[in-house]
Amino acid sequence: MKSILIPVEESELLESVLETALLVARRFGSHMEGLHVRPDFAGIIAATGMGAPYVVEDFRKEDWDSIQRSRTEFERFLNRHDVPLDGGAGTGQPWATFRIEAPPGDDFIGQHARLFDLTVLGQPSRGATPPRMSTLEAALFDGGRPVLVAPPTAPQRIGDSIMIAWNASTETARTVAFARPFLERAERVFILSVEGGMVAGPSAEEAARYLTRSGVPAQAMHVPQNRGVGETILEHAKALEVDLLIKGAYTQSRLRQMIFGGATSHILAMSNVPVLLAH
């Protein structure tokens, strides 16, 4: 986890996103790149028909002002935590850069995320000004790398006590592989499977044996479902006092998730611990 992308949005969750990213950076000596998330003003103008020159100029000015506010907020955070900006490579300590020049819209976020070990974002359904779901989905589905979703309040630590929400799916297996740097440094690793929340594949006990053989002390747990799979996962995450939850994202189809809900949707909406996701 030596390189971390942080899409910077004007959201009340930004502080938690930055603090969570810094926890990871301190753990691994990572480079953090702040990237301002720019709305697709051209698409907005086309959709609304507001193409008058003065309207376009207003959009451009707001776009530039927003970039500057994001950069200022990012730099203030770094200064408060003594993290060097535009310097510090090779020291083994966190350092950061801020990228101003980026195309508008979310497509670039997904493309750019391919160059990083991890992308850190906020929960898209929490707070009065939450981060956008489209930004999370771009990083998750188009980036090909894991995404760490920060809770509304950043934790005090990350990666000491980990729970894997195991359902035997391809997505979960891929997420566990991405999470190896965290797992190899963890003090405790729980592998939780929920009755009625599994697909065909290895059990939690088999997954625990696999990790233990490779030097990760893992404990398997199979529990009954209480109200729903997502609810059950979060209840046990709280009871076990874990500081990182690892989960494969959207094992169900996205359409089914939107209509009926699902474990991923519930966890994205309600988790109070950071969640590492991959698809």
**pLDDT tens for residues 101-141?**
888 888 999 999 999 999 999 998 777 777 888 899 999 99
Instruction: Check whether 260 has a pLDDT greater than 50.
Output: no
pLDDT at residue 45, as a whole number? 53
Residue 252 banded pLDDT, cuts 50, 70, 90: low
The CATH fold of domain 161-278: Rossmann fold (3.40.50)
Q: What are the Cα distances from residue 243, in Å, to 4, 164, 179, 187, 237? A: 19, 11, 14, 11, 8
The helix/strand/coil state of 165 is strand
Residues above pLDDT 70, as percent of the chain: 90
Q: What is the pLDDT of residue 52?
A: 58
Per-residue pLDDT tens for 14-71? 999 999 999 999 999 999 999 998 876 555 555 555 555 656 677 777 777 888 999 9
Note the pLDDT of residue 255.
Answer: 46
Query: What was the pLDDT predicted at 54?
Result: 58
Per-residue model confidence (pLDDT) at position 93: 94
Q: Residue type at 154?
A: A
253, two tokens = 């189809």
Cα R_g (the chain), whole angstroms? 19
Q: SS3 for 254?
A: helix
132-174 pLDDT, tens digit per residue, is: 888 999 999 999 999 999 999 999 999 999 999 999 999 999 9
Q: Roughly what angle, to the nearest 10 degrees, separates helices 263-270 and 229-239?
A: 40
Domain segments of the chain: what residues?
A: 3-150, 161-278
pLDDT in tens, 199-224: 999 999 999 999 999 999 999 999 99
Q: What is the pLDDT of residues 174-201, one digit of tens each?
A: 999 999 999 999 999 999 999 999 999 9
Q: Residue 118's pLDDT is what? A: 99
CATH 3.40.50.620 fits 3-150, yes or no: yes
Q: What is the mean pLDDT of the chain?
A: 89
